[in-house]
Amino acid sequence: MSRKGAFIVILILALVAAGYLQRYLGWQMPWASLPNDNPPPGTEASAPSTTNTASGQWIYKPAVSTTTQGYRWVTLYFTDPNAIFLVPVSRQISLSPYLVKDTLDQLFAGPNPATGLQASVLAMQIRGLAVKGNTVRVDFPESQAVASSTWGSTGGTLALNAIVATLTSIPGIEQVQFLVNGHTTNYMFHDQDVSAPVPGPRWVSNENQLTLYYALPVNGRAFLVPFQISTQESQSNTAAAADLNSLLARAINELKTKRTVGEFSLEPALPAEVSLVDASIKGDTAYLNFNSSLLTAWKDDPNRQALMADAIVFTATAFPDVTNVQFLVDGQKPNASLGVMSLGQPQSRPAWINPE
């Protein structure tokens, strides 16, 4: 056999072996396709939107709770083009026994280019993964620890937060223990101390903080992004801070406020003309009574209406005692919809935010 023929045979055997390792052992080879390269129907990549964001017209994909048969959803945290905000994105991937590894692989693969979002962390090699109780242990080789320490303060912090937020979005996982060659370390991600398990973000509202959901326009599309403020921030009447109904009302009203970080901002999810008349929590349901402007706001823009509805539901259900939201208009259950959401029935929080 010629030298060229022998090279071809070796190459074919190597590719076959790579496929075996990926399919049966769950190993991800550097050149192998990720499950999302063959997305479920309706989730294929599309060309970048040409929607006129200057006029406030955005594409918005409402949050969902249904899953395509043979697939599962994972929540991945990417970033905006300016690397200011972490953006949760939900992606359907093929079912497999390797949920934690598959989730990390998808994070490292980066966002769909059509979204306009940017990768929050470079692809990293993993020595091993293990779940014990509510903790996932991620073991890196020494070379990856050294590389992550050169990413700069912003890049290191972003990568750390994205990995932790993504992994703790998996049900049952609450914190991440980082290891290097099987041992704890304090010099990853630009020398951040990760010697102890790093807890995931708590997107909840209570007497100390409010978790609010705003619009982040990127490339003609709007994403819902959680943003937390102190209950003392821009609040003159702190006497009502311990009143849960008052906190809920304040959280919904805060959705009218643009949030600015440096030169960059999140857009209000609620227009100024929509007024919350009153709010109350009874059992596990938040009753939100709005004026009639709720039904006419952005009436010619169903994308903005759908975003407004989701933002209200996600913000209200950030309170641990709230499972459902009942919309009221002038004290009555409206026979109407906002986007795809029917307002006449109690609404629960959708399972998957910002489907890719």
- Residue 196 tokens read as 């102890």
Residue-range definition of the domain harbouring residue 215? 209-348
Q: Which residue, 199, 219, 245, sits at the end of a domain? A: 199
Q: Are residues 190 and 44 in the same domain?
A: yes
CA distance 105 to 36: 10
CB 318 within 8 Å of CB 202: no
Q: Are residues 147 and 230 in the same domain?
A: no
Q: Are residues 230 and 330 in the same domain?
A: yes
Q: Are residues 287 and 327 in the same domain?
A: yes
The answer to whether position 145 is within a domain reads: yes
The answer to whether position 330 is within a domain reads: yes
Q: Are residues 146 and 231 in the same domain?
A: no
Q: Are residues 329 and 295 in the same domain?
A: yes
For the chain, give percent helix, strand, coil, nearest 5. Answer: 30, 30, 45
The answer to whether position 188 is within a domain reads: yes
The answer to whether position 204 is within a domain reads: no
Residue 56: predicted pLDDT: 57
Residue 158: predicted pLDDT: 95
Q: Are residues 26 and 80 in the same domain?
A: no
Q: Give the long-range contacts of residues 344-348, CB within 8 A, separation 24 or more.
A: 346/285, 347/309, 347/313, 348/313, 348/317, 348/323, 348/324
Q: Are residues 83 and 188 in the same domain?
A: yes
Q: Are residues 106 and 251 in the same domain?
A: no
Residue 232: predicted pLDDT: 86
CB 279 within 8 Å of CB 291: no
Following DSSP, what letter does each residue of 238-304 receive, concatenated? GGGGG-HHHHHHHHHHHTTS-EEETTEEEB-SS-TT--EEEEEEETTEEEEEE-THHHHTTTT-HHH
The answer to whether position 132 is within a domain reads: yes
CA distance 175 to 169: 10
CA distance 40 to 207: 42
Residue 242: predicted pLDDT: 56
**Is the backbone of residue 339 left (phi > 0), alpha (psi -120 to 50) or beta?**
left
Q: Are residues 134 and 24 in the same domain?
A: no
> For residue 245, with 0-12 CB atoms within 10 Å meaning exposed, 13-18 middle and 19 or more buried, which class applies?
middle
Residue 181: predicted pLDDT: 96
Q: Which residue, 179, 199, 219, sits at the end of a domain? A: 199
- Residue 207 tokens read as 């007497």
Tens place of pLDDT per residue across the chain (356 aa): 454 444 444 444 443 343 333 332 233 322 222 333 344 444 444 333 333 343 457 899 999 999 999 999 999 999 999 999 999 999 999 999 999 999 999 999 999 999 999 999 999 999 999 999 999 999 999 999 888 888 888 899 999 999 999 999 999 999 999 999 999 988 899 878 999 999 999 999 999 999 999 999 999 999 999 999 999 875 544 444 458 999 999 999 999 999 999 889 999 999 999 999 999 999 999 999 999 999 999 999 999 999 999 999 999 999 999 999 999 999 999 999 999 999 999 999 999 999 99
- Flag whether the pTM goes above 0.85: no
Q: Are residues 154 and 284 in the same domain?
A: no
In what helix (H) or strand (E) does residue 14 lie, and over which residues does it extend?
helix 3-25
CB 31 within 8 Å of CB 37: no
The answer to whether position 227 is within a domain reads: yes
The answer to whether position 167 is within a domain reads: yes
Other C-beta atoms lying within 10 Å of the C-beta of residue 155: 17
Residue 50: predicted pLDDT: 30
The most distant pair of C-alpha atoms in the chain lies apart, rounded to whole Å, by: 87
Q: Which residue, 173, 199, 225, sits at the end of a domain? A: 199
In what helix (H) or strand (E) does residue 280 lie, and over which residues does it extend?
strand 276-282
Q: Are residues 10 and 112 in the same domain?
A: no
Split into its structural domains, the chain has a count of 3
The answer to whether position 356 is within a domain reads: no
